[in-house]
Structure 1
């Protein structure tokens, strides 16, 4: 396999910047792509070279497969890294990259295709003896669902999902029989709109379920290891906003079982590169069920890096070059606790996107804090793309210490002005007694929303003090003013 000396990063914002930082460590030259509204974006400044790829709509720019590959060839790149989102889990793109003679930094295209179909993925998981949630695959009508519930003795609530789904889209929870037909049509139209495929499946809904995912790394020589698990239970609209590692929901025996189950499944499908197996844990029975395989780098990989000391992006490059993993399972031993929050440019009360210019930006610093930012002070947050502008991570000797460090990062270290962010909500979550005690499910935000809102601090005394200090500083520098 040839050495990667130059790579095109087929992404923008936080994921592009994250990959570029590792490339700088590895002395790999980077080529950024950008759309018209992103011409002054942070990832454009950070790259060695940057190429305009198209207009604002993703279809014309970050999803324009032919143009991205032609750019990589023109710039004499050896490889393409897709980051996460956009084309990261598109098997056609991965195949096109390899057909063009470029190295695809990710898993084999056939595995991406296989795991992208939730129905096929479930069947493979069952074949590998991985427990799956009781489900009805390929649902044609509401009557199919009612018949299945009767036969399998399944009660409401249930979950209707898009078979081609991901990122929380095309998922509808149904509480009773009366809601069923409306929910069915809603899931069908969402699936068609988001994925161009309205195939649905139905699953038993696990009450109080918790999301546990296992980070796996495998090389092309058959070596496969897990880097332990992450807890991704705190979500809004089925999308994660807070993740931590290790999970506070499981004990050591369950940890070993869930991690080795993930490795078994990845071996069964012939996986290489970095990837994640997602499970849903039923806290009542302590049983876990297979959800899906994410065939890419995850947004939350940073917490695993903090507890293991590894660079997962660097490993992806090494694996793509054909190198063997430089460690065995026994060499990996997590010795810290880490938490990550996603700073999205959204109104924390309504989750409506907030876009505009960042007029002021202070980034958290100090011991135990790591920040992956996709913006800078003065940068524009355009309305066309994902609202993620920054990841803030904290690490400590144990969970309580990681929470304390995150509290400092969000309450003292982070200031974003010009756009709204969900930082006030995140601070309320990590200060909530139920979160601190480790009592939460995927419905935590829904169930505690009013309490969380009530904990928001709109303006602090510090803001007033800063204004006075600024006023005093101006007077002392400029001298008495004629309006005085």
Structure 2
């Protein structure tokens, strides 16, 4: 029996919370925001129909406090919770607590989240679904396990060590040589334990010149599974994505069909329901792809898939959570544009150190081919407790070149953020780089070209503009009226 969602509490903040509110508003669904004390004047708080304070600044006291969030939902009379991305979005215990409280969880079943959150378990599902996986070993406990695998399989360096429970680049260390292995092993175990409470690792062959291709999937509770095509998420810094595009410039039509239907086959094997993403790494040298992981949540970059297909993925998640059948067939999903997304983080564009403070000036890019998902406003404070993402800038075009041209204008001419540093100069340098324009890049693009990219920075500020005006006034004062005046 389908159930009607009329009031959603959003267990998140900033960009993801605002994004979910947009669709809820379209569907006339009431929204409740939660916030920490430093976020009391945050953008997502201003946009919600109502808001509840759930604790102090540190995430463990607020956005990661499951009991307080569920208590808030029950207090305001919400009938569903959407977790967005980050924080509790892939926490199976939280999903179970939501359902046990009699609320609707807008996401995949808790048991699926738990299984896919374990990289070892996820690879077992992939193998059962006949999905290729990266050569490697699971359940690494000791350094000798890795050494034995390298010797027995004659594996060449570099290799990757990854946290078995990991994600988001945490607990992931590249090892270039045998000399580096002991330190890298201890680093990976330490990061894994700190981030996920479990220091179990897995070791895999490192794919040189690899590219990250992910397939967006939606599945209802009635066994219907569809793909919404793929996204290219290769450009990363510190193992975290920075620029994405859809479709991928890497794939031809045969490979596109193969990788998309491979993702569908895996999600059907898992018993997936809701929106989710299957990530692959693509080996450019062999034209082979390998399973990486399943993201059991709404992805940051889902917006570019929406731009190229015309579908609202958050709305589909709501339909699925209500028990409805997907209203579309696979043959009806068409790609009609190219889209890019740039993640604007409040960070130093050279060191990537977080930048905190007050937004003293904000000018947003505009135009028919631009989509902005913002988590800030002029005058807003950027607190030091949370992820540095403040805005998603998306552009679309008839083809890749047109989408890039619009992104160039959006970043280089229209965008102004003052009061904090952002990585806008780096984003602009990347999209202007000849290799990016040609579609020739890999996951190591930024580290390989960082000096070159920094040399391309052209930073402008209000001080620069004031200096230009001062020079003009001085010139007129010294030389008198000019001929054109």
Please give the TM-score of this superposition, normalised by the length of structure 1. 0.96
User: What CA distance in whole angstroms lies between the structure 2 residues aligned with 1:61 and 1:28?
Assistant: 24
CA offsets, 1:203-249, max 9 Å, x none?
00000000000000011111110000000000000000100000001
Q: State how many pairs are aligned.
A: 472
Deviation string, structure 1 residues 331-373 (Cα, Å, up to 9, x no partner): 0010100000000000001000000000000000012100000
Pair 1:322-2:323 in alignment: yes
Equivalent residue number for residue 173 of structure 1 = 174
- Alignment-derived partner of residue 450 in structure 1: 451
Distance 2:463 2:353 in 1: 27
Q: In 1, Cα distance between the equivalents of 2:469 and 2:407?
A: 28
Q: What is the CA–CA distance in structure 1 between the aligned matches of 2:8 and 2:468, rounded to whole Å?
A: 46
Paired position in structure 1 for 2:246: 245
Give how far 1:150 is off: 1.8
Structure 1 position 104 matched with structure 2 position 105: yes
User: 1:141, CA displacement in angstroms?
Assistant: 1.9
- Which whole-Å CA distance do the structure 1 matches of 2:110 and 2:410 have between them? 39
- 2:27 is matched with 26
**Distance across 1 between alignment mates of 2:368 and 2:379:** 27
What does residue 149 of structure 1 align with? 150
Matched, 1:399 2:406: no
Matches within 5 A, 1:6-25: 6-25=7-26
For residues 380 and 468 of structure 2, the distance between their equivalents in structure 1, rounded to whole angstroms, comes to 24
**Offset, 1:149:** 1.3
Report what 2:477 is aligned to: none
| 1:287 positional shift | 0.3
Question: Hey, what does 1:131 align to over in structure 2?
Answer: 132
Q: What's 1:482 paired with?
A: none
Deviations 1:179-226 (A, max 9, x none): 000000000000011111100110000000000000000111111100
C-alpha displacement of 1:458: 2.4
Per-residue Cα deviation, 1:248-271 (whole angstroms, up to 9, x for no partner): 011000000000000000000100
Secondary structure of 2:187's counterpart equals: helix
In the other structure, the counterpart of 2:55 is 54
Q: CA deviation at 1:142?
A: 1.9
Distance between the aligned counterparts of 1:296 and 1:147, measured in 2? Answer: 36
1:43 counterpart residue number: 44
The aligned runs of 1:470-481 (5 Å cut-off) are none
Partner of 1:182: 183
SS at match of 1:228: strand
What's the counterpart of residue 335 of structure 1? 336
CA distance in 1, matches of 2:467, 2:133: 55
Secondary structure of the equivalent of 2:180? helix
User: SS at the partner of 1:177?
Assistant: coil
**Do the aligned partners of residues 57 and 285 (structure 1) sit closer, same or farther apart at CA in structure 2, a change above 3 Å counting?**
same
In the other structure, the counterpart of 1:255 is: 256
Matches within 5 A, 1:264-279: 264-279=265-280
Distance 1:467 1:25 in 2: 45
Question: Pairwise mapping of residues 418-437 of structure 1 onto structure 2 (< 5 A)?
Answer: 418-437=419-438
3-state SS of paired residue (1:231)? strand
In structure 2, relative to structure 1, the CA distance for the partners of 1:22 and 1:149 (3 Å cut) is: same
CA distance in 1, matches of 2:364, 2:234: 26
Residue aligning to 1:375: 376
Distance 2:125 2:441 in 1: 30
Distance 1:105 1:461 in 2: 44
User: 2:354: which partner in 1?
Assistant: 353
Partners in 1 of 2:90 and 2:338 — Cα distance? 29
Kindly state the Cα deviation for residue 124 of structure 1 after the two structures are TM-superposed. 1.0
Correspondence for 1:291: 292
Q: State the distance in 1 between where 2:322 and 2:212 align.
A: 32
> Hey, what's the Cα distance between the residues in 2 that align with 1:347 and 1:38?
22
Q: Structure 2: 5+ residue runs without aligned partners?
A: 474-485
Distance 2:37 2:65 in 1: 14
Other-structure match for 2:96: 95
Deviation for aligned residue 1:87: 0.3
3-state DSSP of counterpart to 1:178: coil
Cα distance in structure 2, aligned partners of 1:257 and 1:152: 28
Taking a change above 3 Å as real, the CA distance of residues 462 and 247 of structure 1, as seen in their structure-2 partners, is: farther
Going from structure 1 to structure 2, the CA distance change for 1:467 and 1:77 (only over 3 Å counts) comes to farther
Aligned to 1:459: 460
Q: Which segments of 5 or more consecutive residues in structure 1 lack a partner in the other structure?
A: 473-484
1:423 deviation in Å?
A: 0.4
Q: Helix, strand or coil: the match of 2:156?
A: coil
Alpha-carbon distance between aligned partners in 2 of 1:145 and 1:311, rounded to the nearest angstrom: 44
What RMSD in Å do the two structures reach over aligned CA positions? Answer: 1.5
